């Protein structure tokens, strides 16, 4: 199963990609929401793992674009963020109904969350 990973920090992106690969996933990493939308135009993914704080197109706006352009994929998003305690972030996450892992998170929790959303295919 292929996962689209949207994370601007190269070290975090590499770490998350390694975790997902160990979990049996193939990973397509990108650094921002605009690049992720481009990837979604070309192919479908079993899941999308995205940070919320991203350059060019933030994770919240990226998610709204996914809802509009690729509604089937919006159900397969897992958010990862260091800002989960921020009130506006937590309100947004609650509205999405999608899983969110607060950084730092356990590798097993990420793999389990991705498996759950990927099962929505």
Task: Write out pLDDT tens, residues 87-116.
Answer: 776 788 889 989 999 888 999 999 999 999
Query: In CATH, what number does 2-118 get?
Result: 3.40.50.2300
Give the single-character DSSP code of 9.
-
Task: Write out pLDDT tens, residues 33-75.
Answer: 999 999 999 999 999 999 988 888 888 899 999 999 999 999 9
- The reported pTM is 0.94
CB 66, CB 48: distance < 8 Å = yes
- Element holding 5 (H helix, E strand): strand 2-6
């Amino acid at each position: 199963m292929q996962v689209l990973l949207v994370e601007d920090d190269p070290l975090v992106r590499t770490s998350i990609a390694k975790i997902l690969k160990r979990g049996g996933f193939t990973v397509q990493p990108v650094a921002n929401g605009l690049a992720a939308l481009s990837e979604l135009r070309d192919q479908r993914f079993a899941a999308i793992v995205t940070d919320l704080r991203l350059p060019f197109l933030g994770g919240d706006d990226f998610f709204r674009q996914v809802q509009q352009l690729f509604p089937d994929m919006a159900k397969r998003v897992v958010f990862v963020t260091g800002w989960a305690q921020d009130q506006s972030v937590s309100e947004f996450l609650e509205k999405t109904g999608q899983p969110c892992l607060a950084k730092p998170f356990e590798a097993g929790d990420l793999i389990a969350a991705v498996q759950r959303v990927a099962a929505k295919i």
